[in-house]
Structures are given as structure tokens and as C-alpha cells.
Homo-oligomer: A and B are copies of this chain.
């Protein structure tokens, strides 16, 4: 699957597999905006103008609506509208987390944060063993780095015994406390008493 700008004015839902949503500049610099997972929507839901690229990471199966059909569905079903609203709000929160990462974190913190977010998300048999959905060179485009820097950051994580790599896109977290330390911390951990003036 490779789509430019969600052609045909259709709305898609990811049913199985993973994909990435990205945008890029004229000279080829690319920024991945989101890793799309099952239940995620893709398409021109809001503005008529903004277009993104969707690229499959694995085999993907999707459901698909024409724009008018989708709008009719929303008109008929408040239930559906609420679900879409909540998933959009979740996407917005995820995007904002990424804004902080891209704008203010160092390379080390970026990778550590990403790995922790991934671990939080994926509840697997062995929780410290995670399958990376992306290659290192794709990770670079998600974290706003080069693939060389990603490789070097993985190397230092390995050297410090924080993670272990088992083949490509397969890593194991050995020392999660150090990883948390290296991540620069969550924004919400320093929550202070509510104030309003």
C-alpha cells in the first residue's frame, strides 16, 4: 500500500497491520506523523486541503468509505461520531507528545522516549521484548534525526546494557529504570498543585 494524499476522497479504517502517516518537504526531507494501527482512520476527514502520505509497514487490510457515505454515517450515528471524536482527540494528544519530543528532546531522549512509549503500548507475552514496527531509517524520520544518529544511539544503549538487539526490528529492554532516566521524563510527572489566577 502506498497512497498519496488519500486519493479518491475516501476515508479508510485500518483493520489489520501497521502503516505510517507522513508528510515531506519538496527537497525530500520527511517527517512521520503517526504510526497507524488497527482502528485508526486515514483520509481527508477535516480540511479539504491538507494531504498526507500513507505507507504500509506490513500487509494491511482496511475498510473504506466514500466521503459522502462516511458523512452520512456520521449524521445517522451519534455513537460513531463520538467514537471518531475520541480517537481524534487521542491522535491530537499523541501528536502533542511528539511535538515536545521533536522540539525539545535530545537524540538520546528521543530514542529512549520512543522505546518506552512502544513498550507502554504493546502488551506482549514477554513485556520487555518488543518488535519495532519500523526500520531504523524510518525511526529517523519519526524522531527528526538521521539514520546514522539512530544507529549510534542504539549502540550506546547496547553498550550501557540498557537494551539488547535480537535481529533487526526486535529488541529487548534490559534496564527499564535507566531507560526512563534517559528519556528526559514525562511532562506530567512534575504536576504541581492546580493554580488559576
A residues lining the B interface (CB < 8 Å): 1-5, 7-8, 23-27, 29-31, 33, 45-47, 49-52, 74-75, 78, 81-82, 84-86, 88-93, 95-100, 102-105, 143-144, 184-185, 187-197
Which residues of chain B come closer than 8 Å to A191, judged between CB atoms? 4-5, 51
Which residues of chain B come closer than 8 Å to A81, judged between CB atoms? 78, 81-82, 85
Task: Please state if B99 and A187 are interface contacts (CB–CB under 8 Å).
Answer: no
Task: Please state if B26 and A185 are interface contacts (CB–CB under 8 Å).
Answer: yes
Task: Please state if A197 and B2 are interface contacts (CB–CB under 8 Å).
Answer: yes
Task: Please state if A30 and B104 are interface contacts (CB–CB under 8 Å).
Answer: yes
Residue of B nearest to A104 (CB): B29
Given contacts A81-B82, A89-B88, contact A7 B99 (CB under 8 A): no
Which residues of chain B come closer than 8 Å to A85, judged between CB atoms? 74, 81, 84-85, 88
Which residues of chain B come closer than 8 Å to A190, judged between CB atoms? 24, 26
